Amino acid sequence: MSDVPKARPGSPHPAGGHGGAGSPERLDAKGQALKGLLPEVLPAFHSHISVALDEVVLTVPPERLVEVCFTLRDDPRTRFDFLRCLSVVDYVTYLEVVYHLWSMEKRHKMVVKVQVPPEAPQVPSVTGVWKGADWFEREGHDLYGVVFTGHPNLAPLLLWEGFPGYPGRKSYPFHNYTEW
């Protein structure tokens, strides 16, 4: 066990700050337009908008998530009808659920983020907004223990029933073998 990657303390981003040194903003014209548009579509969240490289990022509290997602999907100015990806990232002090969105009609993209404490990670399910979130959320529940409330069936997907622990998290032991 010479080369066991340790759970690195601290997280790459301090809460709320995205991007970070070394990765400057590279928004294209569509991204710029969207960044200007979002405060009009969601006036309550105008201070929660940031930029990570070439994506506009919106951080929302979990209890407002579904409402925001419906607005983003149905507002004629945004029309985010396609969920590109749903990921969970473990920043040790908090878990972050990341929704990558795309609009087939407008051809623009954005990211929605939700932060929850690792002890009681409860995030409302967005399966009602995008059906395709189904398996992504089950995977997030499997590997990170995030409880997506309102999901129709949070049964284990990739792991077997009764698997102990959440193997995606940083606290889960990594290489449990020795080299020979």
Partner 1 sequence: MAEARPLEVREILVNMGPQHPSTHGVFRMVLWVDGERIVRVEPHIGYLHRGSEKLCEGETYLQIPTLFDRLDYLSNFNNELAFCLAVEKLMGLEVPERAAYVRVILCELNRIASHLMFYAAFGLDVGAMTPSMYAFRERERIQQVFEAVSGARMMHDYFRVGGLRQPPPDDFKERVQRLLPLLEKGINECDTLLTHNEVFLARTRGIGKISPQEAIAWGMTGPCLRACGVPYDIRAVEPYSLYDRFDFAIPVGAQGDCWDRYMVRVEEMRQSIHIIRQALQQMPEEGPVLTPGARRLPRPPKGEVYVRTENPRGELGVYLVSDGSERPYRVKIRAPSFANLQALPVLMRDCYVADAVVILGSLDIVLGDVDR
Binding positions for partner 1, 149-178, rule CB under 8 A:
156-160, 167-168, 172, 174-175
Out of 37, 81, 94, 147, the residue judged to bind partner 1 by CB under 8 A: 81
CB of residue 113 to partner 1, shortest distance in Å: 10
From 11, 62, 64, 147, residue interacting with partner 1 (rule: CB under 8 A): 11
What is the spatial distance between Cα 30 and Cα 166, in angstroms, rounded to a whole number? 38
Please tell me the number of Cα atoms within 13 Å of 173 on its side-chain side.
5
112 within 8 A of 41, measured Cβ to Cβ: no
The closest alpha carbon to 115, from 95, 101, 137, belongs to 95
Take residue 117 and report the two structure tokens written for it: 């404490």
Round to whole Å and give the CA distance between 85 and 104.
14
Q: Which of 1, 2, 22, 177 binds partner 1 (CB under 8 A)?
A: 22
Residue 135 touches partner 1, criterion: CB under 8 A:
yes
Residues 31-50 that bind partner 1 (CB under 8 A): none
Q: How many CB atoms lie within 10 A of CB 100?
A: 16
* Residue 84: both structure tokens together: 């590109």
- Is position 87 an interface residue for partner 1 (rule: CB under 8 A)? yes
Question: Out of 27, 37, 49, 53, which residue is the one contacting partner 1 (CB under 8 A)?
Answer: 53
- Would you tell me which residues interact with partner 1 (CB under 8 A)? 5, 8, 11-13, 18-23, 52-55, 81-85, 87, 89-90, 98, 100, 104, 107, 109, 111, 130-136, 143, 156-160, 167-168, 172, 174-175
